[in-house]
Every structure is written in C-alpha cells, then in structure tokens.
C-alpha cells in the first residue's frame, strides 16, 4: 500500500477533462498527480469544435495562441437540409468572435489533448500511465483512489474517468443511455477532397431524417474532417451488432450529392455508438468529485462535451483559488476544499443539465422527417442570422455561481 506524499490532488483519467483539471489546479499552486489507465496519454477520433466559452478559458490558461496555430477559425457554421442541400440557417463566426470576445474554432482532438499535455508537463503535473483505478474511499481530510498497484491518497480525488466512470457509482446508480445513434468519423488530407465541393472556411452541418453529416477542415486547412451520424435500425430492434457499415450506407442513401460524395471518405473499420446519461445534480461526495463526461456526458449535438469538461476545470480551480489557493509554495494547507467543492457543485450540474437536455432536443430537431422536417426548415429559415438568443447562455462567460438559465426551447422537443 502506497501513500502519496507531496500530492494535494489525484486526478483519475488523463483525457481532455482530466488534463484540464490537473493544469488548472497546478496553476493555482497545487501538486497534482494524474492516473491514466492507458499505456500512453492520447485521444482517438478526429475533430472537436471549441466554442467561445472555452476559447476564453484556453486564453486564461495561456494556451489560446497555441491551439489557434494548430486549428482552424472557420468563418461560418452553415446548416443545410441533407435531402436537398438547401441552406437553412447559419452562424457568422466572425460576428460571434466580436460578440463574445473569443473565437469559435475547430481543432484535431489529439492537437488539443497534446497542448494540454505539454502545458501539464511544463507546469509540473505528475503524469502516470498504466494505472486503472478500481475503487475509491473517503479518508480523514481527504480521499483515496485504489488500484491494482496500491492506493493513492490526497486531499481530493477528482474522477475524470469518462462516460463509463467507475467513480460515478459513488453518487448514482444510473447507466449510460443509448440513443441508438452511431457516429462514423474520417479525417483525410485536404487534397483527397478536391472533387467534393468542400468548403474550407465553413463548418457545414447537413441535417436529415434520422441522420446528419458534419464537415469542416482541420490543421490550418491541411485536413478535412467529416462526421456521419445516423439512427441504427438494428439498435432499435435490440440487436447487439449495431451501427455496421451497411447501416451507414442505407441511412444516407436518400441524401443529396454533397453528402453522398463525402461518405466514401469515412473510416469504415470503427464507429462510435452514441450514449449520454440522465443529468444528475450532485457530483460530490466527501472529498471525491466527478468532472467531465464522468459527471455529464452529453449527446454531441451542441459540441459542448469537451468544452464543459474544460469549464468544470476552470470553475473548480477558480473556487479553489478564492478559498485559500495553495498557501505557501509547496503546500495547500490553506484550501477550504469543502467550500470549494460545494461552490463547484452548486453551479456546474445546473449548467450541464441544461446542455444535456438541450442537446437531446436539438438532436430531435435535426433528425425530423416529413411534416416536422418542413416545419423545422421553415423555423430555421426564418431565424435572423444575428439572433443569438439560443446561444448566449452557452457562448457567454462561464458562470462561477448559479444563476438564471433561459427556459428550455419547448418547441424543439418531441
Ligand atoms: P474521456 O475523453 O472519456 O477521458 C477519460 C479518460 O479516463 C480516458 O483517457 C480513459 O482511458 C481514462 N480512464 C477511464 N477509466 C479509468 C480508470 N478506471 N482508471 C484510470 N483511467 C481511466 N465535445 C466538444 O466539446 N466539441 C465537439 O465538437 C465534440 N464532438 C464530439 C463528437 C463525437 C462523435 C463524440 C463521441 C463526442 C464529441 N464531443 C465533443 C464530446 C467530447 O469528446 C467528450 O465530452 C470529452 O472528450 C470528454 O472528456 P473526458 O476527459 O471527460 O472523458
């Protein structure tokens, strides 16, 4: 059994959420150890959209220039009908940047993860691989993460262990909820999309019956990223083997030329079944707290999952800083952890619940068919491009204390 001398906080999981928390707390003067089960730190998948509520935080951490140099700042998000290709509405991302003070960007996941990893190393975060945490215990003035090789104790254990979090069982007995939707991804060199009518300066989202298709360029325009998402008939029928490439082809058979032209570029050897969870309003027990997807995995339709994870990290670290910070260098005796965790728990579940429920409703709206599709298209066409009523609550500064959230958009629901 191993104690953890000199460590104030143990973070379980080294994804974007875990690294963001480790960095933010280290910048407040704490000593942080990250335990990651994988043999190496890394990310699979392709692109990530990062909205201004998160580029604001990356700026705060001194990382915005680096991520901008690795990513792309698109000019617009354009929503089109997947069946006929008609433009339905758009967001002017130059105006978005003016309005919120920070850009909307897209970046390769591994580039964002790599930026956080390098920043953690520079800041002195202790990064440990090949450690799978199997249990958690409360302790006097702290908590313990238990793994095969021993025990890691600290004043606080933060669980950033993702959708299938082990730690979540401490506060909830819920399970991931299958949406019966599956995502295919594919990122290819831009020269491979020459014949595609690819728009290098836009994020294009084609919304269609039970499916949608997203395209944007990555890595300063060197790569083109596509995501194809559809409802799996085999999942609805209760079959275990769902989301297979034959279902991909069938789901998009009736879509417009631009969408069908992109499909052959998808990676066909792996796919991501889409799960979220019911929102829960308590993420803290004693000195153990959930963060990132462990706390609030959304469906990805608002592109705020990784963003929320980084917001969690910023909010908790600000409350830690406001409640004693690290005291003398090398000690954290001064932090009032119970107050900091309570302040975090008072604001983040409220916001993330809204994102999770809105993402489900937004997905429903995207995937309408028949008369509902006609109605949806009419509503979106009428929308004033410069009406930010639906995104102010998302893109504005991340709240540190609970406040008023706008009403849900009942017209989006089923
Ligand atoms: P994860 O990335 O799941 O990381 C968890 C880490 O913990 C992993 O490294 C894992 O190996 C480790 N771990 C797990 N269990 C243990 C254990 N027991 N012990 C030790 N280590 C453990 N978000 C956006 O903001 N914008 C987007 O555009 C966007 N698009 C998306 C598109 C798709 C198709 C999908 C599926 C998601 C998308 N998301 C997006 C969501 C985003 O990917 C996630 O919300 C985010 O990556 C969650 O980060 P996390 O660190 O909380 O969890």
Q: Quick one: average pLDDT of 122-148?
A: 97
State the distance from the centre of ligand 1 to the C-alpha of 6, rounded, in angstroms. 28
**What's the confidence (pLDDT) of residue 390?**
85
State the distance from the centre of ligand 1 to the C-alpha of 15, rounded, in angstroms. 6
Decide if pLDDT at 212 tops 60.
yes
State the distance from the centre of ligand 1 to the C-alpha of 98, rounded, in angstroms. 30
**Which atom of ligand 1 approaches the CA of 134 most closely?**
18
**Which atom of ligand 1 approaches the CA of 38 most closely?**
11
φ, ψ dihedrals at 21, nearest 5°: -65, -45
The candidate with the shortest Cα–Cα distance to 159, out of 37, 301, 302, 300, is: 37
State the distance from the centre of ligand 1 to the C-alpha of 17, rounded, in angstroms. 7
State the distance from the centre of ligand 1 to the C-alpha of 253, rounded, in angstroms. 31
Separation of alpha carbons 326 and 331, rounded Å: 6
State the distance from the centre of ligand 1 to the C-alpha of 16, rounded, in angstroms. 7
Note the ipTM here.
Answer: 0.98
Q: Please write the tens of the pLDDT for every residue from 54-69.
A: 999 999 999 999 999 9
**What's the confidence (pLDDT) of residue 272?**
95
Separation of alpha carbons 223 and 339, rounded Å: 45
Q: Give Cβ neighbours of residue 163 (< 8 Å, ≥ 6 apart).
A: 176, 275, 277, 293, 294, 297
Ligand 1, atom 15, residue with closest C-alpha? 161
State the distance from the centre of ligand 1 to the C-alpha of 327, rounded, in angstroms. 32
**What's the confidence (pLDDT) of residue 333?**
61
- Read out DSSP for 325-367? TT-STT--TT--HHHHHHHHHHHHHHHHHHHHHHHHHHHHHHT
The candidate with the shortest Cα–Cα distance to 157, out of 321, 279, 282, 32, is: 32
φ, ψ dihedrals at 285, nearest 5°: -135, 120
The candidate with the shortest Cα–Cα distance to 182, out of 234, 226, 232, 225, is: 232
Separation of alpha carbons 390 and 302, rounded Å: 11
State the distance from the centre of ligand 1 to the C-alpha of 333, rounded, in angstroms. 32
The percentage of residues in the chain with a pLDDT greater than 70, rounded to a whole number, is: 94
Decide if pLDDT at 372 tops 80.
yes
Annotate 334-370 with b (16+ C-beta within 10 A) or e (fewer): ebebeebbebbbebbbebbbbbbbbbbbbbebbbbee
Separation of alpha carbons 104 and 76, rounded Å: 9
Give CA torsion, residues 256, 262, 264, 269, to 10 deg: -120
**What's the confidence (pLDDT) of residue 326?**
57
pLDDT band at 409 (very low <50, low <70, confident <90, very high): low
- The DSSP secondary-structure symbol of 72 reads B
- 183 DSSP β-pair partners: 229, 272
**Which atom of ligand 1 approaches the CA of 298 most closely?**
45
- Ligand 1, pocket-test mutation among 56, 293, 301, 359, most atoms within 8 A of CB: 293
State the distance from the centre of ligand 1 to the C-alpha of 365, rounded, in angstroms. 25
pLDDT band at 72 (very low <50, low <70, confident <90, very high): very high
Q: Please write the tens of the pLDDT for every residue from 223-267.
A: 999 999 999 999 999 999 999 999 999 999 999 999 999 999 999
Q: Quick one: average pLDDT of 158-172?
A: 98
**Which atom of ligand 1 approaches the CA of 294 most closely?**
52
**Which atom of ligand 1 approaches the CA of 147 most closely?**
19
Decide if pLDDT at 332 tops 70.
no
Query: Which H, E and C letters describe 119-164, residue by residue?
Result: HHHHHCCEEECCCCEEEEEEECCEEEEEECCEEEEECEEEECCCCC
**What's the confidence (pLDDT) of residue 195?**
74
The percentage of residues in the chain with a pLDDT greater than 90, rounded to a whole number, is: 88
Ligand 1, atom 41, residue with closest C-alpha? 305
How far CA 69 is from CA of 57, 103, 111, 216, 233, in Å, comes to 16, 13, 10, 16, 41
Separation of alpha carbons 294 and 118, rounded Å: 23
Q: Please write the tens of the pLDDT for every residue from 15-38.
A: 999 999 999 999 999 999 999 999
Handedness of CA 248, 254, 255, 259 (dihedral sign): positive
pLDDT band at 14 (very low <50, low <70, confident <90, very high): very high
**Which atom of ligand 1 approaches the CA of 305 most closely?**
45
Residue 175, Cβ density class (10 Å: 0-12 exposed, 13-18 middle, ≥19 buried): exposed
Helices (H), ranges, 12-131: 16-27, 52-60, 64-70, 93-100, 109-123
**What's the confidence (pLDDT) of residue 194?**
77
Q: Which tokens is 19 given?
A: 């690294």
Instruction: Determine contact, residues 337/155, Cβ cutoff 8 Å.
Output: yes
Q: Quick one: average pLDDT of 337-358?
A: 96
How far CA 219 is from CA of 30, 216, 272, in Å, comes to 33, 10, 23
Q: How far is CA 55 from the centre of its chain?
A: 13
* Residues framing ligand 1 (Cβ under 6 A): 12-18, 35-38, 48-49, 132-133, 160-163, 166, 183, 227, 272, 292-293, 300, 303-307, 309
**Which atom of ligand 1 approaches the CA of 54 most closely?**
25
pLDDT band at 3 (very low <50, low <70, confident <90, very high): very low
Q: Please write the tens of the pLDDT for every residue from 91-105.
A: 999 999 999 999 999
Mean pLDDT of the chain: 93
Helices (H), ranges, 218-290: 233-236, 245-251, 257-262
The candidate with the shortest Cα–Cα distance to 343, out of 284, 396, 278, 405, is: 284
């Amino acid at each position: 059994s191993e104690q953890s001398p000199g460590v104030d906080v143990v973070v379980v999981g080294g994804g974007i959420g875990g690294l963001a928390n480790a960095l933010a707390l280290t910048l407040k003067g704490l000593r942080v150890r990250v335990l990651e089960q994988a043999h190496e730190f890394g990310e699979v998948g392709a692109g990530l959209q990062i909205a201004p509520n998160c580029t604001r935080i990356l700026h705060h951490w001194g990382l915005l220039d680096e991520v901008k140099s690795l990513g792309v700042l698109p000019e617009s998000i354009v929503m089109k009908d997947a069946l006929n290709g008609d433009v339905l509405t758009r967001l002017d991302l130059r105006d978005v940047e003016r309005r919120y003070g920070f850009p909307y960007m897209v970046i390769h996941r591994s580039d964002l993860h790599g930026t956080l990893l390098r920043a953690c190393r520079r800041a002195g975060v202790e990064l440990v691989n090949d450690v799978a945490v199997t249990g958690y215990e409360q302790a006097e003035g702290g908590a313990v993460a238990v793994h095969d090789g021993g025990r890691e104790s600290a004043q606080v254990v933060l669980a950033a262990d993702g959708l299938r979090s082990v730690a979540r069982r401490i506060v909830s007995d819920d399970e991931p909820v299958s949406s019966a939707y599956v995502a295919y991804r594919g990122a290819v060199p831009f020269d491979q999309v020459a014949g595609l009518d690819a728009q290098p300066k836009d994020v294009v989202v084609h919304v269609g019956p039970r499916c949608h298709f997203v395209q944007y360029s990555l890595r300063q325009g060197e790569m083109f990223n596509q995501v194809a998402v559809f409802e799996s008939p085999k999942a609805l029928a209760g079959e275990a083997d769902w989301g297979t490439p034959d279902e991909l082809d069938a789901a998009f058979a009736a879509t417009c030329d631009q969408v069908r032209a992109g499909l052959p570029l998808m990676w066909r050897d792996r796919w991501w079944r889409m799960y979220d969870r019911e929102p829960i309003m308590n993420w803290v027990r004693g000195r153990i707290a959930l963060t990132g997807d462990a706390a609030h995995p959304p469906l990805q339709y608002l592109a705020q999952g990784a963003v929320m994870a980084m917001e969690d990290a910023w909010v908790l670290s600000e409350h830690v800083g406001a409640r004693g910070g690290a005291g003398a260098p090398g000690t954290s005796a001064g932090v009032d952890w119970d107050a900091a965790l309570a302040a975090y728990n008072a604001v983040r579940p409220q916001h993330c619940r809204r994102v999770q429920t809105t993402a489900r409703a937004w997905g429903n709206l995207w995937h309408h068919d028949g008369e509902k599709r006609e109605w949806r298209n009419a509503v979106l066409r009428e929308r004033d491009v410069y009406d930010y009523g639906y995104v102010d609550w998302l893109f504005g500064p991340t709240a540190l204390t609970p406040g008023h959230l706008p009403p849900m958009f009942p017209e989006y629901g089923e």
